[in-house]
Amino acid sequence: MSQRHPVLTMTAISKIFPGVRALDGVDFRLFPGEVHALMGENGAGKSTLIKVLTGVYGTDAGTITLDGQQVSFAGPMQATAAGVSTVYQEVNLCPNLSVAENIFIGREPRRLGAVNWREMRRRAQELLARIDLHIDVTEPLGSYSLAVQQMVAIARAVDVNARVLILDEPTSSLDADEVAQLLRIMRQLRDDGIAIVFVTHFLDQVYGIADRITVLRNGRLVGEYPTAELPQIALVEKMIGKELDALERLDSEAGRDRAAITAGQPLVAADGLGRTGSVAPFSLTIHAGEVVGLAGLLGSGRTEVARLFFGADRADQGRLAVDGEPTAIRNPVAAIGRGVAFCSENRRTEGLVGELSVRENIILAMQATRGWLRPVPRRKQDELVERYIKALSIRPADPDMPVRNLSGGNQQKVLLARWLITEPRLLILDEPTRGIDIGAKTEIQRLVAQLSDGGMAVLFISAELEEVLRLSHKVVVMRDRQLVAQLDNDDTLDADRVMRAIASGARQEELEKA
Amino acid sequence: MSTVKARLAPVTGHRLFWPLVVLVVLLAANTVYRPSFLSVELKNGQLYGSLIDIVRLSAPLILVALGMSLVIATGGIDLSVGSVAAVSGAIACLYISEQPDQNSLGAVLTALAIAFGIALLLGAWNGILVAGIGIQPIIATLILMVAGRGLAQLITSGQIITINSEPYKTIGVGHLLTLPFAIIIALAVTLLVAVLTRRTALGMIIEAVGGNAEASRLAGIRSRRITLLVYVVSAACAAIAGFMMTANVSSADGNAVGLWVELDAILAVVIGGTSLAGGRFYLSGTIVGALIIQTLTTSVYAMNIDPQTTLLFKAVVVIAVCLIQAPAFRARFRRRQAPTAPPAAPVEKQKEQVPA
Ligand SMILES: Nc1ncnc2c1ncn2[C@@H]1O[C@H](COP(=O)(O)OP(=O)(O)OP(=O)(O)O)[C@@H](O)[C@H]1O
Ligand SMILES: [Mg+2]
């Protein structure tokens, strides 16, 4: 491979943000027909390297050559025109435009100068069918889940005639099936000679597809390695810059005595709770100290269940009881008052206020419950914020940095911190480890286990079955917006059985309930 | 060269840097035209001078713009401030004009209280339309902008109400502790709004609502109440401005009081660095913005610029201020100057919206 010429070379790239050296003399080479994984911890500089390449940011030093020509793009549009197509880490399409419009924005099919809408819809449908996505392309993009939006962004990027395709954590909210689809498409494109940059925190995906790996740490290049010559453990050590023992795997944390936990009165009990057009009525109890995992495919209604418990959407059927008392949770204020917290999967639109600082974002929910007349005392703010910056290793550890300047993974941690400081009784986590590096992920999983040991109830949603199985006492399976199974996480439960429940929706699984 | 630049960066990069530069340039231009411009003298224990005049005359605009800052920070806008000023001025003047003794302090205070109370109701009306019913702020407040003008004319029966009340006049042209009373009122209200927003959590919560309404809702913020509150505060500020404007001339003209002040206020807020999209707001910037606009108006008269070109002249300066402040414009300018200089962070933010 190396005897061929690289399609893209970045040499000695540096990028400085006020107070942060995001990239420091980084080299990067990309060859045609390869999948090149760009790896590193949260905040290592992966997204920044990509944005420097596509002209979102200017460089402070270094050169970029594409096909032997030195280039310096003024913006992503120019980069796309030059054959560098990118899916950025945060889906950045227009939620109020239709799916089809989003795919073809800037390059609409035309006839006699006017946009040919029919053609556009047809081609959008075709394109999405290629990745097995069958949705109404005339609906606004914003009405679909984050995962669908991510798929649409990918479809769009794949469709432009690109020589270089860059995917920044494209799989972070996808399920196994969609990931498989995506990897299949990536292989296809690679075989056509397209060079692909792939950023992800999922090591198995890297080892499943990448030909070579470049590792960044703290804005510096650690090295470039053929995948075959870099065992997984060595890769992790290069990423975190120390020996792996600090990261020894969590045992099954759910091994604790379930019978004792579920003996008493449930903390929350949903009885036939539902919302027309969103989730079919379901019944579910969660006890203090219990971790309930929610599994299911994309669009199966996991997030919708969570939103009903939090009052983000209002239930129109059924009853909800907290501590055995019937309660209507009509809005988030009511939910928070009952000790429920909800960490949304969509941190950018439903979680953080990008302009506000890390500190302000962390104390926001706590402040909201106190009301604006009673500000959280500065000393208490400092103490809480400092504690959680440390506990979740948020970097840079600067409480006054606007949160939008943080890397994706670090933003996620800020959102988590916001809810942890409210000391909720029921913590709803929707994809809490999305975009989080392996080190921090283990940290967060350990934290969840600790919190539930301390008596907190947790509703844990994740596309990663392995994670759900490791943490939950009970796994609830959703399919087609219905709750189809509740499985005790005992010794007999494994990923296979959950997968079968997801696939078949076998109601008899419920009978196995102890 | 580059170290000098680096050392100056915290100064030139400050939000207030360019607005202040513009203000200083305007003042300098006036001084060149009329060297006595900067002189301030003490006569009968009262300060006099063009500078004092500018600050005094800008007091109503400062008040209106303070309220407008909060509204804009929530992502809204309040077009009705001029009409609210007219209504409250008219009510106060009408009440005083019907008193046997127009110089009675009690009567004036009652007039102010009634007018102020009605202004609060008008603000609440705006807030309910926006937060309760969900009408877009620009439309919701447009209703009161038009209706309020009519209401003011109804109150004055289409006439100009003239009063002869010393206590009321004081609001506009009186002095206290050597300073014009209007300046003291503006200062007091500024302090009040600053304490209200920055000593409590109100400012942050307003910024959260304006920065990301859905995220704020899901964080448990009662954003409707906050929205209602900022429209009430805005109307309150407009009412005080209305008292000042009518007190200045001891008369209320429902047609003219506060006409177009909403536009000046919006400009002042924008010049001060607060984004019309909502989010972070800067009260100090707003005040500098208001001073710039008043200085402009004063300069136009002082320099005998043809009144017909006044508006054009104003527009040119405002465009200049906005351009200097626009990150994209500055980035282009800087890049041409020094191709290797690192552009400041917000520059990239504006260039293309590709977050994290
Ligand atoms: N616009 C910005 N202003 C200031 N600092 C920034 C900005 N963008 C990124 N940074 C900083 O640059 C560093 C690298 O961020 P980057 O987004 O490249 O990380 P990443 O490797 O993509 O991490 P993740 O895995 O979490 O997505 C971080 O410390 C981040 O805080
Ligand atoms: Mg990133």
With the C-alpha atoms ordered A354, A358, A362, A368, is the resulting torsion angle positive or negative?
negative
Pair A389, A399: CB distance under 8 Å: yes
pLDDT confidence band for A510 (50 / 70 / 90): very low
Pair A274, A316: CB distance under 8 Å: yes
Q: Which residue's CA is the closest to the ligand 1 atom numbered 7?
A: A405
Pair A214, A221: CB distance under 8 Å: yes
| pLDDT, tens only, B282-293 | 999 999 999 998
Residues of B (145-204) whose Cβ lies below 8 Å from A: 199-202, 204
AA letter at A94: C
Task: Tell me the pTM.
Answer: 0.85
Tell me whether residue A255 is in a domain: no
Mean pLDDT over B91-112 rounds to 89
Are residues A207 and A289 both part of a single domain?
A: no
pLDDT confidence band for B29 (50 / 70 / 90): confident
Hey, what are A455's tokens?
């008596």
Mean pLDDT over A208-237 rounds to 92
Tell me whether residue A249 is in a domain: no
Q: Which of B190, A409, B39 is nearest to B182 (CA)?
A: B190
Tell me whether residue B336 is in a domain: no
Are residues A150 and A167 both part of a single domain?
A: yes
Greater confidence (A366 vs A255) lies with A366
Are residues A20 and A140 both part of a single domain?
A: yes
Which range in A138-147, A188-197, B312-321, B341-350 is most confidently predicted, on average pLDDT? A188-197
Q: Specify the range with the lowest mean pLDDT, choosing from A504-513, B16-25, B96-105.
A: A504-513
| pLDDT, tens only, B345-354 | 333 333 333 4
> What is the Rg, in whole angstroms, of the alpha carbon atoms belonging to chain B?
22
C-alpha of residue B286 to centroid of ligand 1, in Å: 32
Output the pLDDT for position B154.
Answer: 92
Output the pLDDT for position B345.
Answer: 36
Task: Flag whether the ipTM exceeds 0.85.
Answer: no
Greater confidence (B137 vs B46) lies with B137
Are residues A184 and A232 both part of a single domain?
A: yes
Contact A374/B at CB under 8 A: yes
Tell me whether residue A248 is in a domain: no
Element (H, E) at A97: none
How many domains, in total, are found in chain A? 3
Strand, coil or helix: B104: coil
Hey, what are B98's tokens?
């019907």
Are residues A436 and A502 both part of a single domain?
A: yes
pLDDT confidence band for B10 (50 / 70 / 90): low
Residues of A within 8 A of B340 (CB-CB) are: 60-61
Q: At which residue do the structure tokens 């944390």 appear?
A: A253
Tell me whether residue B314 is in a domain: no
Tell me whether residue B234 is in a domain: yes
Are residues A170 and A230 both part of a single domain?
A: yes
Tell me whether residue A265 is in a domain: no
**Cα–Cα distance list, A168 to A67, A87, A171 (Å):** 22, 6, 9
Pair B165, B93: CB distance under 8 Å: no
Pair A240, A247: CB distance under 8 Å: yes
> Do you find a cis peptide bond into A396, omega within 30 degrees of 0?
yes
Question: Residue B226 pLDDT > 60, yes or no?
Answer: yes
Strand pairing category for A35-39 and A212-217: parallel
Hey, what are B338's tokens?
């020094």
Helices (H), A131-265: 146-159, 176-191, 203-209, 232-240, 258-261
Tell me whether residue A353 is in a domain: yes
pLDDT confidence band for B80 (50 / 70 / 90): very high
In chain A, % of residues over pLDDT 70:
94
Tell me whether residue B338 is in a domain: no
Taking the C-alpha atoms of residue A57 and residue A74, their distance in angstroms, rounded to an integer, is 8
Mean pLDDT over A8-34 rounds to 92
Q: How far is CA B81 from the centre of its chain?
A: 10
| Strands, E assignment, chain B | 41-43, 46-48, 160-162, 175-176, 179-180, 251-253
Pair A154, A167: CB distance under 8 Å: yes
pLDDT confidence band for A228 (50 / 70 / 90): very high
Q: Which of B161, B179, B163, B182 is nearest to B171 (CA)?
A: B182
Tell me whether residue A143 is in a domain: yes
Q: Which residues contact A173 (CB under 8 A, 6 or more apart)?
A: A145, A146, A147, A150, A345, A431, A434, A463
Are residues A369 and A349 both part of a single domain?
A: yes
Cross-chain Cβ contact A364/B221 below 8 Å: yes
Pair B82, B145: CB distance under 8 Å: yes
Output the pLDDT for position A430.
Answer: 93
CA atoms within 13 A on the CB side of A209: 28
Q: Which of B84, B102, B101 is nearest to B93 (CA)?
A: B102
* Longest CA–CA separation in chain A, Å: 72
What is the DSSP-derived secondary structure letter of residue B131?
A: I
Are residues A156 and A227 both part of a single domain?
A: yes
Q: Which of A423, A452, A478 is the last residue before a domain boundary? A: A423
Task: Kindly compute the dihedral angle of the four CA atoms of residues B110, B111, B117, B122, in this order, to the nearest 10 degrees.
Answer: 170
How many domains, in total, are found in chain B? 1
Report residues near ion ligand 2: CB below 5 Å. A 47, 89, 407-408
Output the pLDDT for position A229.
Answer: 93
| pLDDT, tens only, B253-294 | 888 888 889 999 999 998 888 888 889 999 999 999 999 988
Hey, what are A348's tokens?
């950018």
Taking the C-alpha atoms of residue B163 and residue B158, their distance in angstroms, rounded to an integer, is 16
pLDDT confidence band for B245 (50 / 70 / 90): very high
Output the pLDDT for position B1.
Answer: 44
Give me chain B's average pLDDT, please.
Answer: 84
Greater confidence (A482 vs B306) lies with A482
Residues of B (194-233) whose Cβ lies below 8 Å from A: 199-202, 204-205, 207-208, 211-212, 214-222, 226
pLDDT confidence band for B42 (50 / 70 / 90): confident
Pair A224, A49: CB distance under 8 Å: no
C-alpha of residue A395 to centroid of ligand 1, in Å: 9
Residue of A nearest to B354 (CA): A92
Are residues A176 and A301 both part of a single domain?
A: no
Are residues A135 and A96 both part of a single domain?
A: yes
The residue range of the domain holding A415 is: 345-423
Give me chain A's average pLDDT, please.
Answer: 87
Cross-chain Cβ contact A350/B215 below 8 Å: yes
Output the pLDDT for position A512.
Answer: 47
Output the pLDDT for position B331.
Answer: 65
Cross-chain Cβ contact B355/A348 below 8 Å: yes
Q: Which residues contact B268 (CB under 8 A, 6 or more apart)?
A: B61, B62, B65, B68, B286, B287, B289, B290, B292, B293
| pLDDT, tens only, B152-205 | 999 988 888 888 888 888 888 878 888 888 999 999 999 999 999 999 999 999
The CATH number of residue A115's host domain is 3.40.50.300
Q: Kindly tell me the burial class for residue A463, based on how many C-beta atoms sit within 10 Å of its own C-beta (0-12, 13-18, 19 or more).
A: buried
**Cα–Cα distance list, B281 to B194, B202, B274 (Å):** 11, 12, 5
| pLDDT, tens only, B155-165 | 988 888 888 88
| pLDDT, tens only, A40-71 | 998 899 999 999 999 999 889 999 999 989 99
Mean pLDDT over A376-400 rounds to 92
- In the structure, which protein residues have their CB atom closer than 6 angstroms to any atom of ligand 1? A 17, 20, 22, 40, 42-48, 89, 395-396, 405-410, 435, 437; B 345, 356
pLDDT confidence band for A400 (50 / 70 / 90): very high
Q: Which of A388, A423, A458 is the last residue before a domain boundary? A: A423
Contact B22/A at CB under 8 A: no
Are residues A352 and A335 both part of a single domain?
A: no
Are residues A352 and A478 both part of a single domain?
A: no
C-alpha of residue A75 to centroid of ligand 1, in Å: 18
Pair A183, A207: CB distance under 8 Å: no
Q: Specify the range with the lowest mean pLDDT, choosing from A320-329, B42-51, B189-198, B324-333.
A: B324-333
Cross-chain Cβ contact B354/A76 below 8 Å: yes
| pLDDT, tens only, A471-502 | 899 999 988 888 988 888 877 777 788 888 87
Tell me whether residue A463 is in a domain: yes
Q: Which of A366, A392, A423 is the last residue before a domain boundary? A: A423
